[in-house]
Structure 1
Amino acid sequence: MVSRLLSSILFLTLVCIGVAQDLGANRESLGKITDSRLNELSGLVNSRKNSSLFWTHNDSGDSARIFLIDRKAKLKCIVALEGVHTVDAEDIAWFERDGRPYLVLADIGDNYGQRPTIQLYIFEEPVWQEGRSHMVIPRSAIVQVSLRYDDKPRDAEAFFVDPLDKKGYLISKRDLQVGVYPIDFQQAEDGETLSISRALSLPMTFITAADIAADGSEILLKNIGQVFLWHRLGSASVIDVFRQRPNTVEYQAEPQGEAICFGYQNHVFYTVSERPLGLDAYLYSYTLGNTK
């Protein structure tokens, strides 16, 4: 069943966008996910306060918490979000405000397209000290922003924040041509609800993760079987960048790969997978090489 689904997704995507130029990439397995609490990892972002660490989280069924892991995929700390109830957290992103890094936990999953609103939870990246295994972010330090699609509810698993225009970008998942939704969230107040509209449709489907380079010059999207890379020229808008044909990146499909992020260097990105049916999951690094 999984192989048939993957084949269908690859076929639909290739039919829609054509065969783009493939970029070579060297994959390295950094470590195996062994802690049973990290069972449905769905988002990943490189810590801005410690380049050797990553923030990640589970999706539906878990409490409102994020995990700090090291480059060997070992769990270092669990951070709970006080007073927050997540339904289906599917991605995590970062942005900078007043010189300080913030995280956004994107509770945007909606498998059946029934949620009247979805949520972003915004908070300053915690400061972690070696040996500290648990932390709590107080509710007073979290801004909750609700989002409502202007047409109908839909499922999404991909979100990033552009460092140039400061907007968030949500990518829908299950549409035959996924939608790109800009979100001007940074000035929103706690508890505010924003209406979001599709700005562009991309000729691909089943997008499960996204990230943007720290300088905004590269954008990554992935589905279960492929990784796509867009190069940004100058200060072009994200929407204009997405109007270009992307490169595909050499990628080996994971059991249920739903997370991707750039490292501190634009030519390196990382992935991690859920563990469906008890299959092993690993933290991988990909170093981009020459165009094939």
Structure 2
Amino acid sequence: MRNCFTSIMLFLLFTSSVLNLSAQEIGVVRTALGKADHPALGEISGIVASRTYPGKYWVHNDSGDTGRIFLIDSVAKMSCEFHLEGIDARDVEDIAWVKENGKNYILLADIGDNLAKREEIKLYYFEEPLMKAGATKDTIASKAIRTIVLNYPDKARDAEAIFVDPLDQRFYLISKRDFYSTLYSADIFKSKKDRYILRKDMEFPFTFVTAADISEHGDAIIVKNLTQVFYWDRKTKGSIINSLRSPFQKVSYTVEPQGEAIAFDHNPFTFVTISERPFGLNAYLYQYKYTKP
């Protein structure tokens, strides 16, 4: 496993050096907001800014955890844990925000598949929960959760990144372990079916994508792998595909230990990252402020 990890890191460093030759870099100011030291937050792999509680963030762990999400504050301290009733999660890898009928919703992505053997992957969709006064734990009822089953058009894949376009509510997923990470999509909010076949849209000139997000107004997209963050400015409100096919800009990013999560914040030109805690290392909530390209 160690040799495999070393090979992956060497490949990512090589591709990073190649991409650095052509990509314009966006400068940032990076601030450590706080340490994620709660015992339950051991393997954070997804983050999204709360719409109901500005300044707070929804996070989750990946494989090995139960179906649950956590609300943390602006310094990474636990506010509340919510258990998803009746959900047998296998490998939750990302989380996204959706606005529907004037209400805020969470989309939790059970899409991890390291060995590419799952016959299907799943999304869990529910209204953003509310904290009860004095409660640190609560439950989201099974009847309030919509389960959406997804299949790839060809074969199983590992994936850790999703986002939903706020302009047309189309769902997007990015594969991880393909030689070129690949973008897939589906209209999961139009027909309200229980099962969808993903559509392959395009390939990226990099691999090992671990997270992605789109800004609240749909005018910017960020994608990260273990060593880099890539940025696209959606200037004309054009299609996601056309935007992502245009040249990206590379964000000045400091590598985190097993850094797998990224999300735009409510504040203009700001995003946050957070990581797992491998080998007992500390994990911090970082804020990145950048100048709009």
Fold-level match, TM-score > 0.5?
A: yes
Shift of 1:186: 1.1
> Aligned residue for 2:198?
196
* In structure 1, distance between residues paired with 2:55 and 2:132: 13
Q: Structure 1 residue aligned with 2:117, among 92, 114, 137?
A: 114
* In structure 1, distance between residues paired with 2:21 and 2:9: 17
CA contact (8 A) 1:274 1:281 kept: yes
> Unaligned stretches of 5+ in structure 1?
none
> Aligned residue for 1:44?
47
Q: Does 1:59 align with 2:56?
A: no
CA contact (8 A) 1:145 1:193 kept: yes
> Aligned residue for 2:88?
85
The percent identity for this pair of structures is 45
CA contact (8 A) 2:16 2:228 kept: no
Q: Structure 1 residue aligned with 2:142, among 139, 143, 149?
A: 139
Q: CA RMSD in A?
A: 1.6
* In structure 1, distance between residues paired with 2:7 and 2:287: 27
* In structure 2, distance between residues paired with 1:179 and 1:18: 22
- Relative to structure 1, is the Cα distance of residues 196 and 255 closer, same or farther in structure 2, using a 3 angstrom cutoff? same
SS at match of 1:170: strand
> Aligned residue for 2:272?
270
* Cα shift readout 1:182-232 (whole Å, capped 9, x = no counterpart): 121113547x11111211111110000000000000000000110000000
* In structure 1, distance between residues paired with 2:22 and 2:280: 34
Shift of 1:234: 2.1
> Aligned residue for 1:73?
76
* Cα shift readout 1:34-88 (whole Å, capped 9, x = no counterpart): 1111000000000001111100000000000000000111011000000001110
Q: Does 1:158 align with 2:168?
A: no
Please report the TM-score for the alignment, with normalisation by the length of structure 2: 0.95
Structure 1 stretches of at least 4 aligned residues deviating more than 4 Å after TM superposition: 1-4
Q: Which moved more, 1:258-267 or 1:117-126?
A: 258-267
* Cα shift readout 1:232-265 (whole Å, capped 9, x = no counterpart): 0222100000101110001100001000000012
Taking the TM superposition and a 5 Å limit, the aligned residue runs for 1:1-292 are: 5-15=8-18, 18-189=21-192, 192-289=194-291
